[in-house]
A and B are shown apart, each in its own frame.
Chain A
Amino acid sequence: MLSIRSVSKSFPGPRARTLLRDISLALEPGEFVAVVGESGIGKSTLLNLIAGLESPDSGAIELCGEKLGALGDDEATLLRRRHIGFVFQAFHLLPYLSVEKNVALPLVLNGVASAAIGPRVREMLGAVNLGDRATSLPAELSGGEMQRVAIARALVHRPSLVLADEPTGNLDPEAAAQVLALLRERIKADRAAGILVTHSRSAARTADRILVLSERGLSPAPAA
């Protein structure tokens, strides 16, 4: 489903340095991995490469049978729209859309028929325990609630891959635990693959396996 082979990425500029060196990874549907590593080591860059938002210097990334390197920006966007769901540290809900409309956004973008949108959104909101907040605006929600909306949005269009970048960074531990549990549950329920980028060991432990990103590459974490 996702296969990353020998990907390297460096950034130009005055402090040019290679962030990612010879990274390889393969993920199957239903698999949920955590990537941990020091700050600035390139965890987010890895996600961007996978999402087709940046391109690697070398190596190849294949998502759902499509080689990302061969795609233009629009094609990559369409691929992302169809196959990827995102959860951000800062939630990034549209302030002017109600909770249900925020969740519906990927369906609208994917051209799902209006009739099909309502039931699916309600289903997802129910799944993240926010069935009663469908018409609320994001500003009326707590941080945990907002992130749960974000999880619903990330999975509403049944993506193949969910990318979560520090989803608990802005949350208190209790809410964080709840959100992580939900994220895992929804990924498994939809048989999506999931990559959780975090620097928190405890968060990482909710994944099936933990990979450590270091200057030497991506390697399985030593057993705790």
Chain B
Amino acid sequence: MLSSAGVRASLALAPLAANKGRVAVSVFAIALGVALGYAVQLINQSAAAEFAQALRVLAGDADVVVHGPRAGIPEALYPRIAALPEVAVASPVIEVQARLPGQREALKLLGVDVFRAARLQPDIARAEGGEPLDFLREDRLFLSRAAAAWLGLTAGDELALAAGEGRLALRVAGILSASALRERVAVMDIAAVQSALRTGPVVTRIELRLREGADPAALSAALERVLPPGVFAEDPGQSVERNARLTRAYRVNLAVLALVALFTGALFVFSTQMLSVARRRVEIALLRALGVARGGILRQLLAEAALIGALGAAGGMALGHLAAAAFLQRYGADLGAGTFAGLPVTPHVDPVAVLVFALLGVAAAVGGAYAAARTAVRAQPARALRAGDEHEALRSLEAAWPGAACLAAGALLAFVPAIDGLPIAGYLSITLLLIGTLALMPRLARVAFALAPQRRAASWRLALEQLRFAPGRTGMSLAAIVASVSLMASMAIMVASFRHSLQDWLDTMLPAQLYVRGGEGAFLADEALRSQWTVPGVARIEFLRSEQILLDVAHPPVTLLARDLDAARIDRSLALVGESRLPAPGAPPPAWVSEAMVDLYGMRAGDVVALALRGRVAAFTVAGVWRDYARQHGAVVIERREYARLTGEERAGNASIWLEPGADPDAVAAQVRSRMPAHAEVELVRTERIRELTLGIFDRTFAVTYALEAVAVLIGLFSLSASFAGLALARRCEFGMLRHVGMTRRQIGAMLALEGFAVSALGLAAGLGLGGVLAVVLVHVVNRQSFHWSMEIHTPWPTLAAFALVMLPLASFAAWAGARRAAGYDAVRAVKESW
């Protein structure tokens, strides 16, 4: 039956049905872009949610948490706090990192008073297996589900733990319910932990629940009177926030990477839509000729695009979800950065994010279609008969000022400081530099192709003429490849700079040949133990005491390093940035702060700062600033004798050993170990091993970003191929004519290959150049502001050259392959087409 509606429906749907392949490509393009962005978003979201959830569960229903330096707070505070009238429940917790034989990673062990912990978090007492008394026994512990799975243990199994100077032979009493503790953690009695691990009379934190109706402000005031320096009270929300900050910079970096990928995906969508509309010029002109209004055609094209976009977005979301799940499974919530070890993570679906990415997918499709369709529809049917019409539309792309303005703004933004601890201006700068470069691509193409040498061969001439004639078109074809290549190059330069600087830093920071690390609370440098270090082959030993101190509840704790060092030759011990100037006689003793202390706390050389050492406040003079890649939240180095003088604490947990020339590090290590008390769980590591490990972790961390970049580059290649296919389709009459006037197939192929090569070369050059600029912003702005450490730019020329050498033929091939298929269209028929 023939009806008006039926014909309309056919007009709308027939093109889709008739072009299943084209529709599939468009859907795939959108799906890929959406999948990338969505996957990274999901990973971020899940990581953050999981992390926050873990902390919430850990803190239970605590309203306030009292905590202090890593070394703990005096347990004598506990009854004083518990007795405050505003406090309903006070639950003391001691937390240690316990080592397990045969495991590199430590197990977080929580010592709790189950009577109190269960009042804050009733689920903690509901374990599978075990009996409540097991929560008190010195030889029993409970494992979280995650820890049990990690260790492959179940109720009744035995395990040995070591921490500090102590060892524990334990039996697993039961498995805690997942609602109690999500992360990889073990729980046992607080007294058992204190006594077996000889922690001394300290707890790590005290979790509080307010009495009903109590005034939190009154509690704060009361706590302020009770708490010694260096001990803080905060609500767990603050702690979640502070801990989220731990990983925020890393997550934001990933998110930006994902956005660049999504942007590349959108460019890909745009080129496939251009291709699609190009293929339908005839149809569009016919409809126009039949009297269908311009708006009608536009609406139809946009509706089609929206449908394609919706399909692509749905597919992309499914794909993204799978990818995210696989990544989380493989690498954990932080993509291998090691921040949330042991947290089992499944993707957290956020409806808002789903909606946003669905809309982004549809918007990319509709936007691409609109830009493409507008040029097709705007053409007068009669004008469309004249070849070359669409070039007119692209001429507007050649204006230089928008791109120049973007570049200028991007350059200025690189000098704006961090906003709320995030390098937002840096990212904006990168975005504007990218957009500016893309906008200037036509201009760049014009200049570049004008400079290209003239050759006699017809294919060469035609290729060049065609490129010179339509730089706007070239610019569009290149957008995705330039974006992805610049991303790749900038990341490569940033990573190389980082790695290079890290190596230099390791050289400075690890001058000794052997390093000794005691476990949590283990001490190596008791004067009484001096004799154990008099080993043949040892030339010199320096000790280091490390502890976490909290300077400001809004920031994660900073590391205090009390080291044996020569203050006059500090540059031998620390990777100084600038000079070290020792304080004048009579001024407080020197402290050297890491760059993060400058960024986060505003410390400057010459400042006098107050540090809480074991509950006592002491003043120090900032003598210099050093670079620290190990602790992005800040570190302060002071002289160990100064620390001992102020606190009376002589012991230290770490030592560096310099060897006599010719001494065998392994032999010395064995000797030192043999002189340690049998129970001492200390780790002796050769410097090379530390370097190896550090660089290994570094490489693993960035491995995932490489994968993301590779996908972006792949999309860039697809996009280039698609846009060349689109152009070739638009030019098929031209190829038909050229066949008629006597160009061989090979000549046409050569022409297309030359065009592909020239365009790819330009795209690569522009992408690499832009990548270099972006790398400078990444290194000096984004990284500095995110992680608070500086690095020297180091360009990995061989890597970039190899990348270019691989990419050039790949991109040329992608372009040629795209065009080739379109040009394969029957030349004889092509010339009969009038549009």
Contact in complex: B465, A90 (CB < 8 Å) = no
Contact in complex: B740, A109 (CB < 8 Å) = no
B743 at the interface (CB under 8 A from A): yes
Report the bound CA distance from A80 to B738 in whole Å: 11
Q: Which of A74, A81, A88, A109 has the most chain B CB atoms closer than 10 A to its own CB?
A: A109
Chain B residue contacts of A106, Cβ below 8 A: 741-742
Check A90/B733 contact, CB under 8 A, given A51-B740, A74-B744: yes
Chain A residue contacts of B569, Cβ below 8 A: none
Interface 9-residue window, one of B490-498, B715-723, B825-833: B825-833
Contact in complex: A139, B392 (CB < 8 Å) = yes
Residues 54-74 of A contacting B (Cβ, < 8 Å): 54, 73-74
Chain A residue contacts of B392, Cβ below 8 A: 139
Contact in complex: A81, B385 (CB < 8 Å) = no
Q: Which of A48, A74, A85 contacts B828 (CB 8 A)?
A: A48
B403 at the interface (CB under 8 A from A): no
In the complex, what residue of chain A is closest to B832 when comparing beta carbons? Answer: A44
Residues 406-432 of B contacting A (Cβ, < 8 Å): none
- 1/0 per residue, CB under 8 A from A, across B390-401: the answer is 011000000000
**Minimal beta-carbon separation of A102 from chain B (angstroms):** 10
A82 at the interface (CB under 8 A from B): yes
- 1/0 per residue, CB under 8 A from A, across B720-749: the answer is 000000000000011011011111111000
**Minimal beta-carbon separation of B326 from chain A (angstroms):** 47
Interface 9-residue window, one of B171-179, B454-462, B648-656: B454-462
Chain B residue contacts of A84, Cβ below 8 A: 742
B663 at the interface (CB under 8 A from A): no
Chain B residue contacts of A53, Cβ below 8 A: 739-740, 827-828
A202 at the interface (CB under 8 A from B): no
- 1/0 per residue, CB under 8 A from A, across B279-312: the answer is 0000000000000000000000000000000000
Chain B residue contacts of A96, Cβ below 8 A: 388, 391, 465-466, 468-470
Chain A residue contacts of B461, Cβ below 8 A: 108
Contact in complex: B828, A105 (CB < 8 Å) = no
Q: Which of A94, A101, A137 contacts B734 (CB 8 A)?
A: A94
Contact in complex: A80, B733 (CB < 8 Å) = no
Report the bound CA distance from A193 to B461 in whole Å: 30
Residues 341-366 of B contacting A (Cβ, < 8 Å): none
Contact in complex: A81, B831 (CB < 8 Å) = no
A114 at the interface (CB under 8 A from B): yes
Chain B residue contacts of A51, Cβ below 8 A: 740
Report the bound CA distance from A85 to B741 in whole Å: 7
Report the bound CA distance from A123 to B297 in whole Å: 46
Residues 96-131 of A contacting B (Cβ, < 8 Å): 96-97, 101, 105-106, 108-111, 114
B666 at the interface (CB under 8 A from A): no
B834 at the interface (CB under 8 A from A): yes
Check A81/B742 contact, CB under 8 A, given A88-B831, A92-B831: yes
B683 at the interface (CB under 8 A from A): no
Chain A residue contacts of B745, Cβ below 8 A: 73-74, 77
Report the bound CA distance from A106 to B461 in whole Å: 13
- Dominant SS among interface residues on chain B: helix
- 1/0 per residue, CB under 8 A from A, across B440-454: the answer is 000000000000000
Q: Which of B386, B744, B746 contacts A138 (CB 8 A)?
A: B386
Q: Which of B466, B469, B742, B834 contacts A77 (CB 8 A)?
A: B742
Check A139/B389 contact, CB under 8 A, given A95-B469, A96-B465: yes
Contact in complex: B386, A139 (CB < 8 Å) = yes
**Minimal beta-carbon separation of A100 from chain B (angstroms):** 12
Report the bound CA distance from A95 to B528 in whole Å: 92
**Minimal beta-carbon separation of B442 from chain A (angstroms):** 14
A89 at the interface (CB under 8 A from B): yes
Chain B residue contacts of A88, Cβ below 8 A: 737, 740, 831
In the complex, what residue of chain B is closest to A106 when comparing beta carbons? Answer: B741
Q: Which of B465, B468, B736 contacts A92 (CB 8 A)?
A: B736
Chain A residue contacts of B466, Cβ below 8 A: 94, 96
Report the bound CA distance from A91 to B741 in whole Å: 12
Report the bound CA distance from A17 to B386 in whole Å: 34
Chain A residue contacts of B831, Cβ below 8 A: 88, 90, 92
Q: Which of A44, A48, A82, A138 contacts B742 (CB 8 A)?
A: A82
**Minimal beta-carbon separation of A189 from chain B (angstroms):** 20
B600 at the interface (CB under 8 A from A): no
Chain B residue contacts of A81, Cβ below 8 A: 741-743
A35 at the interface (CB under 8 A from B): no
In the complex, what residue of chain A is closest to B740 when comparing beta carbons? Answer: A86
18 contacts between A and B (CB under 8 A): A53-B739, A74-B746, A78-B744, A80-B740, A80-B741, A88-B737, A90-B833, A92-B734, A92-B831, A95-B391, A96-B391, A96-B466, A106-B742, A108-B458, A111-B456, A137-B388, A138-B386, A170-B834
Extra inter-chain contacts (16) besides given A92-B387, A137-B388, CB under 8 Å? A48-B828, A51-B740, A53-B740, A54-B828, A77-B742, A85-B741, A90-B831, A92-B733, A94-B465, A95-B388, A96-B466, A96-B470, A109-B743, A110-B742, A111-B456, A146-B386
CB-CB nearest 6 A-B residue pairs: A81-B742, A95-B388, A96-B469, A92-B737, A95-B387, A139-B388
